Amino acid sequence: MLKILKNIFRAKTRSLLTMTGIAVGVFSVTLISTVGAVGTEQVGSTLVSMGVDTLLVQASDLTVSVTLTDKDVEELKKIDGVTDAMPLMASVTEAKMLDRRLNCYVWGVDKSADKLISLEAIHGRLISNSDSASLSKVCVIDEQFALEAYGRSDITGKKLKIFLGKKYHEFTIIGVAKSGLSSLQGMLTNIMPEFMYIPITTMQTLCGRTTYDKIAVKVSGDDFPVKSVTDALDKKNGHVDGYICNNLLSQKSSLESILSTVTTALSLTAGISLVVSGISVMTSMMMSVGERTREIGIKKAIGARGRDIMGEFLAESVILTLLGSIGGIVPGLAVSFIGCAVLGVPFSADLPSLIISAVTAAFLGAGFGAYPAAKAAKLSPADALRM
């Protein structure tokens, strides 16, 4: 091994430039695959914390007399494997605070909201049973909303107006929540509306409704029979295919698959530079063969076989490539780690992609080093010593 390294660094500048070319290609692949892994994990965990690991039940056709009521919620809670069920109402509307108007997504929820969508109060409290029973005009707002309106997160006790039922209604902020969506909202501030939560009974009253839009169902295990939910409601209410159940967990898997495909495509594109780097490996090894012709002649004269010479040069090209790969992987991981620390997201590395890129680089090194190695192996001792 030491002998191989000594041979590689006979021409230090040439070897370092060759390894730098390889390192740049591997660095690109490492950075893209790591960013993809972090992004996929972050989106997945965010969606789960939003409640994407639940089932959403709704009427299959809103034009017919199929509704969702409290009795339906209780019926779903009786199903084996269902750990909780919560009625939901939702409305995209507008809120006024101070002199600002902000688009918002208002959710009508009950006390189970923190269990189904991982709603966590960082200031104040969440919606309670007493809020729902008294039809209180109170709300819990997302932290991002508070920051945009006041520049700070703790604004409990402040007032705002929400447009519901064709008019504005004044609500008191009882809590500020750090929901699972906050991280995405921070990155997509201009695209995603702010979230806020009010008692579902209050929302029903203001909108003139006695039914619900959806029922969120929390289940235990990925193998839960989804059809049992709609069957139970159809049987209870005398409908045939009156309800649909969206398995959001499967949509999460589809989204993660898309992200993985995009990451792979970008990594392969960046990997093209590795092929270009392979040409520099071949050039470097060809020059090494030319410089060491007499050495090759001496080795053959004292009994070295052609395959020994070929093996030596192939080993040098592979080691040269692997050193370049390490020089790309380490900085790539370091930059990714620093970026995650700055953005405040968990670091995650795609180890299979890193291993594949290193192995691919090694094979490229062997492939592009094969011709110079074969040329060195074919030199006759007499010709080599005359050169």
Do 234 and 290 share a domain, yes or no?
A: no
Q: How far, in Å, CA of 237 to CA of 60, rounded?
A: 14
Question: Mean pLDDT score of the chain, rounded to an integer?
Answer: 78
**Are 146 and 234 contacting, i.e. CB atoms less than 8 angstroms apart?**
no
Q: How far, in Å, CA of 31 to CA of 231, rounded?
A: 48
Lowest mean pLDDT among 21-30, 47-56, 114-123, 152-161: 47-56
Do 90 and 237 share a domain, yes or no?
A: yes
Please indicate, yes or no, if residue 51 is contained in any of the structural domains: no
How many domains is the chain built from? 2
Do 90 and 234 share a domain, yes or no?
A: yes
Do 40 and 162 share a domain, yes or no?
A: no
Q: Is residue 109 pLDDT above 80, yes or no?
A: yes
Q: How far, in Å, CA of 282 to CA of 285, rounded?
A: 5
Q: Is residue 50 pLDDT above 60, yes or no?
A: no
Q: Quick one: pLDDT band at residue 111, thresholds 50, 70, 90?
A: confident
Do 194 and 285 share a domain, yes or no?
A: no
pLDDT of residue 184: 40
DSSP for 302-367 reads TT--HHHHHHHHHHHHHHHHHHHHHHHHHHHHHHHHHHHHHHT------HHHHHHHHHHHHHHHHH
122 membership: H or E segment, kind and range:
strand 121-124
CA distances from 323 to 6, 12, 190, 252, 286 (A): 14, 13, 44, 39, 19
Please indicate, yes or no, if residue 60 is contained in any of the structural domains: no
Please indicate, yes or no, if residue 92 is contained in any of the structural domains: yes
Which residues have C-beta within 8 Å of that of residue 189, sequence separation ≥ 6? 144, 148
Q: Quick one: pLDDT band at residue 149, thresholds 50, 70, 90?
A: confident
Most confidently predicted of 44-48, 133-137, 206-210: 133-137
Q: Which domain holds residue 178?
A: 67-241
Please indicate, yes or no, if residue 246 is contained in any of the structural domains: no
Backbone angle region of 169, left / alpha / beta, with phi > 0 → left and psi within -120 to 50 → alpha: beta
**pLDDT (tens digit, 9 = 90+) per residue, 238-261?**
888 888 887 765 655 666 676 677
CA atoms within 13 A on the CB side of 217: 33
Q: Quick one: pLDDT band at residue 45, thresholds 50, 70, 90?
A: low
Single residue among 241, 263, 278 that ends a domain in this structure: 241
Do 32 and 128 share a domain, yes or no?
A: no
Do 94 and 215 share a domain, yes or no?
A: yes
Do 176 and 126 share a domain, yes or no?
A: yes
More confident residue, 249 or 72: 72
Please indicate, yes or no, if residue 77 is contained in any of the structural domains: yes
pLDDT of residue 136: 93
**Are 263 and 36 contacting, i.e. CB atoms less than 8 angstroms apart?**
yes
Single residue among 183, 213, 241 that ends a domain in this structure: 241
Do 270 and 227 share a domain, yes or no?
A: no
Do 274 and 200 share a domain, yes or no?
A: no
Q: How far, in Å, CA of 365 to CA of 318, rounded?
A: 5
**Are 64 and 243 contacting, i.e. CB atoms less than 8 angstroms apart?**
no
Single residue among 241, 264, 287 that ends a domain in this structure: 241
Do 229 and 277 share a domain, yes or no?
A: no
Do 228 and 92 share a domain, yes or no?
A: yes
Q: How far, in Å, CA of 49 to CA of 115, rounded?
A: 10
Please indicate, yes or no, if residue 57 is contained in any of the structural domains: no
